Amino acid sequence: MRVSIIIPCYNAQTYLAACLDSVLAQDMADFEVLAVDDGSRDGTADILRAYAKRDARIKPFFKENGGVSSARNTGLERARGEWVTFVDADDVIDADMLSCMLAVATDDADMVVCAHRTFDEKGNTQLVWPQTNWPKKRGEARKRAAALRLIEGDSVMNIMCAKLHRRELIEREGIRLDENVAIAEDALFNLEALERGRGVAYVHRAAYGYRMHAQSAMHAKTAGSTYDVHLPWLKGMRALLLRLGAMERYYAAYVDSVALRLYKDGGAGGVIRDFNEKAMPLVNIEGLDVKSMPPYGRAVHALCRAGRYPMAYPLIWPVQVMSRKLGEAAFALRARRERPQ
């Protein structure tokens, strides 16, 4: 079997049929659908049972509510395909999404990524392309550039969907979602899969449709500051990079990501004011092999160890802002020039 499609479902009756219809409309037939009902209280279970009777490829599972990561992990435990992909129960996929992604799934790639589009009930659509040129790189350079996007935060790389993961790698390395992280937990999964895998392939197609509505994840409002909301993710990423032996390679990017969450709360002044108090427990890491760090990483490490990163931030901040602005400008130019296929 080529692909296992995992669909976590929670109170999904409004959009679930459209999601399943788009999956069953694939122009290839060699796949299974593992639809995990995570303790829904609406008609989700009835819809899953009805579709399972119509098509044996749909395999419904029912569990007590444990959250989306728990549901996805349940699907991973039962998947049997060569590749695994995730689809949210309120989204849709193009009829050739699987085939076009499999077409670029070479032996040296354990992950395949495609772009996506957002859409709403009013017909508004927005294409979401990679915001840097990482797909233009090759080999280890591409893998490193993609990892940097996952560490800082990126709308294409971070999400669980619109990706194929080689299941042999996922099982061999025991990669699962952290059920204790509720924000950006998919980014941690993708980062571990990327770092442990051989490489990443890319399809320049917005083949996945992410539905925007009041209950969708992108619209969900969370209480608290940006930094506090993302703190479990930042702690999880710190632990993951240390476990992978990759903190030296990505130390500067990790520090910049921590600082960016403070920046989103209070601008450059917020970083200068709060970094030493809030961020130092995360970035002051003992036992790192500083000599193996790239030059910028060694410089950032020295600033953090001396407690002087906030003092240097007025110099670091313009470079970060310029980099983000250039990425946003390239994104906007692409969105105007290219249309969904």
Residue 183's DSSP bridge partners are none
Same domain, 197 and 111: yes
Position 332 pLDDT exceeds 80: no
The DSSP-derived string for 118-165 is EE-TT--EEEE--SSSGGGS-HHHHHHHHHHHHHH--TTTSSSSSEEE
Cα–Cα distance measured from residue 255 to residue 257, given in angstroms and rounded to the nearest whole number: 5
Residue range(s) defining the domain that contains residue 294: 226-337
Cβ count within 10 A of residue 155: 17
Q: Do residue 185 and residue 270 come from a single domain?
A: no
Same-domain status, 241 and 200: no
Whether residues 74 and 198 fall in one domain: yes
CA 298 to CA 330: how far, in whole Å?
Answer: 30
User: What was the pLDDT predicted at 320?
Assistant: 67
Residues 37-68 have pLDDT tens digits of 999 999 999 999 999 999 999 999 999 999 99
- Higher-pLDDT residue of 332 and 131 is 131
Average pLDDT over residues 199-224: 80
Average pLDDT estimate for 147-162: 92
Judge whether 216 lies within some domain: no
Is 221 part of a structural domain of the chain? Answer: no
Q: CA-to-CA distance for 282 and 257, rounded, in angstroms?
A: 11
pTM: 0.92
- Residue 136 banded pLDDT, cuts 50, 70, 90: confident
DSSP assignment letter at 198: S
Instruction: Say if residue 146 is in the same domain as residue 293.
Output: no
Q: How many domains does the chain have?
A: 2
As a dihedral over the C-alpha atoms of residue 249, residue 253, residue 259, residue 264, rounded to 10 degrees, the angle is -150
pLDDT at 336: 54
194, pLDDT greater than 70: yes
Residue 162 lies in a domain: yes
Sign of CA dihedral 34, 39, 43, 46: positive
Last residue of a domain, one of 211, 243, 272: 211
User: Quick one: 235 and 301 in the same domain?
Assistant: yes
Q: Residues 147, 191: contact at Cβ < 8 Å? A: yes
In terms of average pLDDT, the best of 83-87, 148-152, 223-227 is 83-87
* pLDDT at residue number 317: 76
pLDDT in tens, 96-106: 999 999 999 99
> Of 162, 186, 211, which residue sits at a domain end?
211
Domain boundary among the residues 211, 241, 270 is at 211
Average pLDDT over residues 2-29: 98
Which has the closest alpha carbon to 37: 8, 1, 59? 8
Does 59 share its domain with 190? yes
> pLDDT confidence of 321, banded at 50, 70, 90?
low
Mean pLDDT, residues 270-295 taken together: 96
* Res 340: pLDDT: 43
Say yes or no: 244 and 193 in one domain: no
Residue-level pLDDT at 341: 43
Assigned domain for 194 exists? yes
- Domain co-membership, 71 together with 197: yes
